[in-house]
Every structure is written in C-alpha cells, then in structure tokens.
Structure 1
Amino acid sequence: MIDRRKLIIWGGIAIAAPLVAHTAMSQSRSSPPTPDEVYRDPDIPVLGNPDGDVTIVSFFDYNCPFCKGDYPVLKDVARRDGNVRLIKKDRPILTEASRHASRLVLAAAGTPDYEAGMDAIMLEQGRLSIEEIDAALRAAGLDVDVMSSRYDQNSEQVEALFDRNNRQTLGLRLTGTPGYAIGRKLVAGSYDAPSFEEAIKLARDSGDRF
C-alpha cells in the first residue's frame, strides 16, 4: 500500500488518495464530475458482474507499465469477489500507439472482442508500438482489419469518450495513470490486491456503491 496521500475533494467530500505514480503533460483542471458520469457511462462496457453492488472505475493507458501490472490483479480481485462491476476508462496519454490500441478495442464494445482485445494488449508486458499492438491482437485470434473498420464507423463516439474520460480525471485531480474510483475513494497510482479488497469493503460498508 502507498502511504503518501493528498486530499481530493469530490462532491464536497474530502477523499484521501495516494500521490500520483507519474503525471501527464501539464493540463488545466476541470470541475469535478458527478458520480453518475464516472460510474455509469453507457458507452463503456462493464467487466466483472454487470449487476455488482460495488463499482471500480480504472483510468488507464495501454502503454502504462503500472496499469499493466495492476490489470491482472484487479481482474482477479473482481473475479474472486463476484459482485464487482469493473469499468475500464481509456486515457491514452503516453503514446500514439496507446491511442491506436484504445481506438481498436473501444470500437469492439458490445462484442467479445472488447475484453479479448484488452487482455491481449494489457497482458503483453512492455511499451508496445502500433505494429506490436496489432500483432498481439492477431495472436489472440482477433481481426485487426475488422476492428479498424468498426472504429472508422464509430470514430466520433470513441473520440468523444477520450475527451470525456480526460475531463473526468482532471476534475478528480487524477492527473496520471493509473487512477481508480471505488465508492468515494480515489486512488492515484498503483494498487495491490489487499488494497483493492479493502476499498471494496469500505464502499460496501459505507453504502457508497454507485
């Protein structure tokens, strides 16, 4: 668990969050988003249990090593708990390849290719180029040309989602990746399994399940 913390204000509530693991380029702050905007965006698929009583929102970049390290841990925590809604919010801020990966996978929302594509890239360690991302997707049995065509058909919706996610992280002062929202708790930086479990319990006990 990360010990250093700062206070983040969300909806008038002071929330303790660890300091950011690394920050994006200097950007202006936005107004804090509402819980519905953070936890209930209809354009983002739900992983884990869609009817779960606690929601974890993960702001991530496909080329962020901390995000990649957290990904299997978070999925395993959600699987073992069995009652967690897991929302992955793309924030491709590191490389153009990050944006390429997000475009392809988000365009597959509503199909099995969404989670399969995310797994293929997030479980491939190291910073990937565009060519390496495409190769990872193909190795997982996915058709990159089909995914690219889906993006072309839905590009406005996908790009609007990037903007929405970015404004939310700035409003929450989660200026780098990874960042998490779990109930009223905000976490800036990497988290381990016991910390995720503790945050889930806190959300359940407090009733802040969203």
Structure 2
Amino acid sequence: MKRFLATTILALGVAAPAVAFDVNAMSDDERAAFRAEIRAYLLDNPEVIMEAVEVLEQRNSAAEAANDFNLVSQYGDSIFEDGYSWVGGNPDGDVTLVEFVDYRCGYCRKAHDDVAELVNSDGNIRLIVKEFPILGEDSLLSSRYAIAVKQKHGDDAYKLAHDTLITFRGGVTDASLTSISESLGFDAVELLAHMNSDEVTDEIRKTRALAQALSITGTPTFVMQDQLLRGYLPLPQMAALVDEKRTR
C-alpha cells in the first residue's frame, strides 16, 4: 500500500499524467492517513526523492535543449551569416563554431587557447567571434577597439587585436590602447576616433540584441551547428561535440 501511494504521488508531481485522483474528495481523516502513509514511505526510502529530482532535472534539460534548438533555427542567419562578425578557421569548414566573447571574462580567456587548439588541430572548423561586452567599461572599450580595428584594417588585423586583448591584463585606457596600436603597427589616433563611431556602436547593438533573443546572459557562450553551449567547455569536451556533429 505504501509503495502504491508514494508512486501515485510521485507520478502526479513529476510525470503529471492524466490520472483520475482527487485528494480533495477524501474525508479529513482519509486525507490525513494518506499523507501520513506517504511521509512514512519517503522517510523509509529517501532515495525515491533523489530519483524523482533526477528525472525532473533530465526533463528540464531536455526542454531547455529543445528550446535552444528552436532559437538557433529561428535566428540562424543572424548567428552564422550576419555579414560583420569575424570569421576564422576554415571558412568552408563542415562544422561552424560561434563564440560570444567578453575580453575581461576569465573563462573566455581560459577558453581562448582551447578554441585555438581545437580549430588549428582539426582544420575543418569555421570559427565566428561575436563581440559581447557585458562586464563593464573596460569590456566595452576593448570590444569597441577590436571592432574598430576590423572595420579599418580587416580580418587579419582584427585577429591580432583580438589575441592581444584577450591576454591583456592592464586597465583599458586611451594610453593602453595607444600602446597596443603601436605594438601592432596601427594608427592609434585613427582607431581611437573610430571606436565611438556609429558603425562600431551599431555592431555592438546588433550582437546584444541577438544575445537577448537567444537568452544569452554570460560569456563565453558558444553555438555549435544547432546547439547552444552556455559556459566554458574543456577542449576534450568540445572536440567530442565536434565529432558528434559530424556523425549526425
């Protein structure tokens, strides 16, 4: 009897099938006895609660994955073909990896070398970087500078600036950006002026709008083909996901 009652309640609370069962139809004494039986069973078998929680978490994860899949499908053009984000790796690669990055994000910095190794060792990954500054003024200035470099000097120059900024540890100021410009052979006056242009602002605005539509609130966030990957993933896990995409 105890197992039946507990199973019934767990089914109602976790699986929520269409069951003709109305506790309110019981008398007060019947309801009290029913609840006592359930409580006693759960105290004797607490592992049942953990099993139910695990099932619920699995269902929530599946629902989130399905929602992310739909979001990527809906906004695919903006994610993969926006016409302004930097594209590296193999432009004709059979797997596309998109990264939303903030230069002041510790996990973005940790992911940087892993992503570079993955792309270089694989040789068939198309990499897209989206500037998504969310961690304050230094983040915003860094992204403005990187975008200005790309707009003024092209993709190769952007890659140099991107790699420099992701490892830069000092404060981001006009002086430090001037020093970076000089070290990379760029005209600092031109870039500092262009950083605040409408063209740069518009690119940041469009990426932020896309992130909001995709419910992206942190960095790094990746999109790999049809899947959103929220947060840092170690290199072996990223490589395994690439292999998985290719076998579908």
TM-score over 0.5 (shorter chain): yes
Separation (CA, whole Å) in 1 of partners of 2:139 and 2:182: 17
Distance 1:200 1:128, change over 3 A: farther
**Contact 2:86/2:130 (8 A) holds in 1:** no
After superposition, the C-alpha distances for 1:88-135 in whole angstroms (9 at most, x for unaligned) are: 1011111212111111111222243200001111123x4643244543
Separation (CA, whole Å) in 1 of partners of 2:121 and 2:214: 28
Task: Give the aligned CA root-mean-square deviation in angstroms.
Answer: 2.5
Aligned to 1:182: 224
Greater Rg over alpha carbons, structure: 2
1:169 aligned residue (197, 200, 211): 211
**Contact 1:33/1:171 (8 A) holds in 2:** no
Separation (CA, whole Å) in 1 of partners of 2:186 and 2:238: 31
1:114 aligned residue (138, 158, 168): 158
Separation (CA, whole Å) in 2 of partners of 1:12 and 1:44: 22
Note the 1:1-210 alignment, pairs <5 A.
Answer: 6=61, 7-8=64-65, 9-10=67-68, 12=70, 33-109=74-150, 110-124=154-168, 126=169, 128-130=171-173, 131-151=175-195, 155-206=197-248
Aligned-residue offset at 1:51: 1.4
1:146 match: secondary structure: helix
**Contact 2:119/2:127 (8 A) holds in 1:** yes
Separation (CA, whole Å) in 2 of partners of 1:127 and 1:59: 22
Separation (CA, whole Å) in 2 of partners of 1:134 and 1:62: 17
Separation (CA, whole Å) in 2 of partners of 1:113 and 1:149: 17
Identity score, percent: 26
TM-score where L is the length of structure 2: 0.66
Specify the code of the residue in structure 2 equivalent to 1:202.
E
1:176 match: secondary structure: coil
Quick check: which one's helix share is greater?
A: 2
Distance 1:42 1:127, change over 3 A: same
Quick check: which one's strand share is greater?
A: 1
Aligned residues: 183
Separation (CA, whole Å) in 1 of partners of 2:172 and 2:193: 20
**Contact 1:48/1:86 (8 A) holds in 2:** yes
TM-score where L is the length of structure 1: 0.76
**Contact 1:105/1:147 (8 A) holds in 2:** no
After superposition, the C-alpha distances for 1:143-176 in whole angstroms (9 at most, x for unaligned) are: 4323224445xx2232222122112222222211
After the TM superposition, which parts of structure 1 deviate over 6 Å for at least 4 consecutive aligned residues? none
Separation (CA, whole Å) in 2 of partners of 1:38 and 1:121: 23
After superposition, the C-alpha distances for 1:25-56 in whole angstroms (9 at most, x for unaligned) are: xxxxxxx8511111111111211111111111
Question: Higher relative CO (CA 8 A, sep ≥ 6), structure 1 or 2?
Answer: 1
